[in-house]
Chains A and B, each alone.
Chain A
Amino acid sequence: MVVTVAIFLVKLFYIQVLSDNYRLLSESNVRRSLVQYPPRGIIYDRHGEKLVTNEPAYDLMVIPRQVKSPDTLELCRLLELDPQQFRNRLKKARKYSMYKASIFLEQISKESYGYLQEKLYRFPGFFVQPRTLRKYPYPIAASVLGYVGEVNQNDIEKDRYYISGDYIGKSGIEKSYERELRGEKGMRIVMVDVFNREKGRFEEGQYDVPQVQGEDLISTLDLQLQLYAEKLMQGKRGSIVAIEPSTGEILVMVTAPGYDPNLLIGRQRTKNFARLSQDPQKPLFNRALQAQYPPGSTFKLVVGLTGLQEGAITPASRFGCNGKASSPIACTHSHASPLDLVGAIEQSCNPYFWGVFRNSVDRFGYSNTRKGFNEWRRIVKSFGFGSPISPDLLNQSEGNIPQDAYYDKYFGKNGWRSITIRSLSIGQGEILVTPLQLANFAATIANRGYYIPPHVVKKAGIREIEFEKKKTAVEDKYFLPIIDGMYNVFEASHGTARYWKIDSIISCGKTGTVQNPHGKDHSLFLAFAPMDNPKIAVCVVVENAGFGATWAGPIASLLMERFIKGKVKRLDVEEHMINSNLISP
């Protein structure tokens, strides 16, 4: 008897005093760390309207070690899973960790949650974790706002903050302002009994970590205008970017065709994402930022400004449009000749700007092409062409302002002259720009010489987001004749956009019709209004639609009218634009 008791005491001494293992096991038994997910910040438009909100969702979590040969069928029925899916999900969770909780089934509906909560005690190892899901009150601006998804392995490795099952902004504002929006996860440590029922806080909550709510964002977008712009673009392929020139705030950013952002939330996200990414119309491709087009005639404004700054021309310089002077670039339509700068802009005369471009590039002598070209290129680049310009939009294309090295490679060193690269003068050839860069260019002209990097968020929490003004390499005074020309585009009798004048608002614009080797020309228009004290600068691209004046012009005009006046008078134009379907079925 004494021996037996002694053996017992030795064993007790071993497990109670010497070994630490059981104490840890006991803690892991009862301790359940519940991650507290703070609600993600809400995104408002510039007037305080909600663009992105949250709604509650519930994830079913599992701790594989605690799962005790459950009545699988019953749980499957509750969750609407077939037994094979059930096993696969459990296997996945086991692979992640036997001891740590991971998501078993994400985003259970509110109804199943209520039902499940009552039955869950019978399935040890399972518990429900409240989460929030994104919700979009309006089906707009999907590509700007971006979407939220579960972190992948890469995200976890890059930032240790994330653990499997966390959500992260995957694109758009959700991604670029992830830090502000996500807040800080909290941790609540509770004790649970064998049936997984909560029994109180661990150590009076002294190890709990409070959650920090995500910061709300005030975006620069104008909800009503965005809605209107998307409506105008329905049935079309292309994009619209509108900027408030004085602040660089992006009022509207449309890519068409777009998609309803509500498609990329919840459980159907994966399915919908696959469908959208296979859509031949590429709705996930944000044309406003990523599509690169030759700027076409809209680039004549840049050529004109550069020429003025370089002294290659004066506003009074004239170039003939027929005869030898126009060769090898002919005019597309007949008009009086020779024109001065203002007239050339008004009527979009091709040979005129070839003349300007030639003067610029050949400034240091006909054979000193490289120096002339590089100088020209420097000034062009100062408008933000050829590089990403927005500080808070992701995945911007750079566009392309070709380098001398490119021509060296193509034509041989010094094997090229101004005439070799003449297509640049009318915005064709190697030159590529994005709609965002063009809209920013319109804003730059509206500002007479500077721009503020275009951005989509103006306030995060209580922090105002501001950006430095950027001066172009062209002096203010040279913008005036350009603006006069753009004024004529609307107002003069031969102006290319004379049919799209806005009643009682003086607007400035420039059409562009971009030759497209793959199909019908792209219709481009850039504009700002009012001429004095501009409120809005806009660029519209309608792909494969034909002349700039036919589609992009009226759309830009309607948008500016709507923004400045609050309503549109030209209902017939509006109706025509909204109802036209330019996408060939």
Chain B
Amino acid sequence: MRERKNIFQNADKIMIIIYILLVLMGWLNIYAAVYDDTHSSIFDLSTNYGKQALWIATSALLIFLVMMTEARFFSSFSYVIYVGIVLLLVVVLIVGHEVAGSKSWIEIGSFRIQPAELAKFATNLALAAYLGRTHVNIQKLSTKVVTAIILGIPPLLILAQNDTGSAIVYTTFILVLFREGLNGNVLVAGVAAAFLFIMSLLVSQWIVIGSTAVVLAFVAWRWQRGRRPWFALIGVFLISVAFVLCVDYAFHKVLEPHQKERINVLLGKETDLKGAGYNVHQSLIAIGSGGILGKGYLNGTQTKYNYVPEQSTDFIFCTVGEEWGFVGSTVVLGLFLALLIRVIMQAERQRTAFARIYGYGVASILFFHLAINVGMAIGLLPVVGIPLPFFSYGGSSLWSFTILLFIFIKLDSHRNEVV
């Protein structure tokens, strides 16, 4: 009974405070982004900020629901939730509502839900449940296959909805696997592949292949331990050559023109201020014009006058940068960083593998969103349409991130109990 009385008894105050701050700041910025003298009521449901107020209220409700649920429920029912969401992803493919080319919305009345958002925490639950079993060995092939299936189904379905951004998010789980003992070579290979990918687009493929050969020869020359692994090095070289050639082929034959353009713009090979580059250019202008202290709340001209597209969703960071300047941007990034560190710290303190893995999942998902979203807004990464957690306008994403975080807060508040 005592526990019922105060469900936040052992909840981590730091995470909750940061969460509340981020959500409120997000709401203020959504208000600023669509601010217009003619709409004065902040609860006007025809506006984004009015709706967001509703989403925040319902999120509060969700928080209570999550906190009142037995902690054991999440580990026990993780697969059920996962399967349920996967089914929803299938349903959306059939009856989904298409917005801007992505068929990823289920329409209920005037509100729309995006199952892809909800799939994030569901997948995280399933992953934590699977890898959290006792005596699980991630090095075993069967474990890898099952993990790959759990992590693979949602993004494939999401890709089928033509929502590339949300699908890419799932690559972030590699970080979790790494923490859980996945061989570091995979990560090295991944980074190397990404590097080769970019280089082969930037310069001639023959230069890339040549440099790879030189680097590998250098590695062979400096090899310290035992016999030089000629076989492995030549293998790596051949794979690299094949990869580089594939990239070239894929880039020119497989990618859609607009995707090619985005990549080219990002790599600086094209400057197209009217097409793909326009968004990033306007976004940079918005953030860059903020200066140290910003233009002041509601005074951002770039965002208020719609120069930046998607300013209350994917490009919400522009409003922060423009109206609050470098100081505001630093505060927001600081809060996110603090939250991430706190989540990881708490994850490391968990007694159960389930809670730990889940915590790492939360941190990776949040980090991935933060990095991609802000990176895109300041022109460091290609334009990928994913929201900034807690900030961006959107019910599904706010709900999803809220549930994601608060399940962890719930699990964390029970970490001292004997499972």
Using a CB–CB cutoff of 8 Å, the interface residues on chain A facing chain B are: 1-2, 4-5, 7-9, 11-13, 15-17, 19, 21-23, 25-27, 29-30, 68-69, 191-195, 199
Contact = CB atoms under 8 A, between A and B. Distances in A.
B374 A193 contact: no
A15 B305 CA distance: 21
B69 to A, nearest CB: 29
B207 interface: no
5 contacts: A12-B329, A12-B378, A15-B284, A26-B301, A29-B301
B289 A25 contact: yes
Contacts of A26: 285-286, 288-289, 301-302, 322
B367 A16 contact: no
B321 A4 contact: no
Given A17-B326, A26-B302, A194 B333 contact: no
Interface string B370-407: 01001100111000000000000000000000000000
B407 to A, nearest CB: 21
Contacts of B288: 15-16, 19, 21-23, 25-26
B329 A23 contact: no
Given A2-B337, A15-B378, A16-B329, 4 more contacts: A1-B363, A8-B380, A9-B333, A12-B329
Contacts of B292: 16-17
Contacts of A15: 284, 287-288, 378
Nearest to B281: A25
Contacts of B378: 8, 11-12, 15
A1 B285 CA distance: 26
B371 A4 contact: yes
B290 interface: yes
A69 B305 CA distance: 20
A406 to B, nearest CB: 69
Given A12-B329, A29-B285, A29-B307, A7 B290 contact: no
A26 to B, nearest CB: 4
B335 to A, nearest CB: 11
A515 to B, nearest CB: 72
Rank and list the top 6 A-B pairs by shortest CB-CB distance, nearest first: A22-B288, A193-B305, A26-B289, A15-B288, A16-B326, A30-B301
B266 to A, nearest CB: 14
B380 A12 contact: no
Interface in B282-312: 282, 284-292, 301-302, 304-307
A15 to B, nearest CB: 4
Given A19-B288, A194-B305, A194-B306, A11 B380 contact: yes
A25 B278 CA distance: 13
Given A4-B371, A8-B375, A26-B286, A191 B336 contact: no
B330 interface: yes
A584 B329 CA distance: 85
B274 interface: yes
B307 A12 contact: no
A123 to B, nearest CB: 14
Given A26-B302, A194-B307, A13 B287 contact: no
Given A2-B337, A5-B337, A8-B378, A13 B326 contact: yes
A23 B291 contact: yes
Of A4, A8, A9, the most chain B CB neighbours within 10 A belong to: A8
Given A5-B336, A8-B378, A25-B289, A16 B325 contact: yes
Contacts of A8: 333, 374-375, 378, 380
B337 A1 contact: yes
Contacts of A22: 284-285, 287-289
A4 B329 CA distance: 14
Size category, B interface:
35 or more
Given A16-B321, A22-B284, A30 B274 contact: no
Contacts of A68: 274
B275 to A, nearest CB: 8
B301 A191 contact: yes
Contact of B291 (A2, A16, A193): A16
Contacts of B379: 11
B305 A199 contact: yes
Contacts of A193: 304-307
A126 to B, nearest CB: 15
B333 A5 contact: yes
A23 B289 contact: yes
Of B289, B304, B325, B363, the most chain A CB neighbours within 10 A belong to: B289
A16 B287 contact: yes
Contacts of B305: 29-30, 191-194, 199
Contacts of B282: 29
Contacts of A25: 285, 288-289
A29 B302 contact: yes
A104 B285 CA distance: 28
B196 interface: no
B362 to A, nearest CB: 13
Nearest to A196: B305
B340 interface: yes
A68 B274 CA distance: 7
A19 B290 CA distance: 11
A191 B304 CA distance: 11
B29 to A, nearest CB: 16
Of A11, A191, A195, the most chain B CB neighbours within 10 A belong to: A11
Contacts of A16: 287-288, 290-292, 321, 325-326, 329
Contacts of A19: 288
A175 B118 CA distance: 74
Nearest to B374: A8
B217 to A, nearest CB: 30
Contact of B330 (A1, A9, A194): A9
Interface string B314-341: 0000000110011001100100110011
A404 B76 CA distance: 124
Given A15-B284, A23-B291, A25-B285, A30 B302 contact: yes
Contacts of B304: 193, 199
A507 B8 CA distance: 116
A30 B291 contact: no
Contacts of A21: 288
B71 to A, nearest CB: 27
A192 B304 CA distance: 10
Contacts of A191: 301, 305
A192 B301 CA distance: 9
A4 to B, nearest CB: 5
Contact of A17 (B291, B302, B341, B380): B291
A1 to B, nearest CB: 5
A13 B301 CA distance: 20
A195 B305 CA distance: 8
Contacts of A194: 305-307
Of A5, A17, A191, A195, the most chain B CB neighbours within 10 A belong to: A5
B242 to A, nearest CB: 31
B30 to A, nearest CB: 18
Contacts of A11: 378-380
Of B288, B307, B325, B336, the most chain A CB neighbours within 10 A belong to: B288
Contacts of B286: 26
A69 B380 CA distance: 27
Nearest to A28: B285
A447 B304 CA distance: 74
A12 B330 contact: yes
Of B285, B333, B380, the most chain A CB neighbours within 10 A belong to: B285
B97 to A, nearest CB: 26
A513 B89 CA distance: 105
Nearest to A22: B288
Given A16-B329, A194-B307, A7 B380 contact: yes
Interface string B113-139: 000000000000000000000000000
A481 to B, nearest CB: 83
Nearest to B305: A193
Nearest to A197: B305
Contacts of B302: 26, 29-30
Contacts of B363: 1
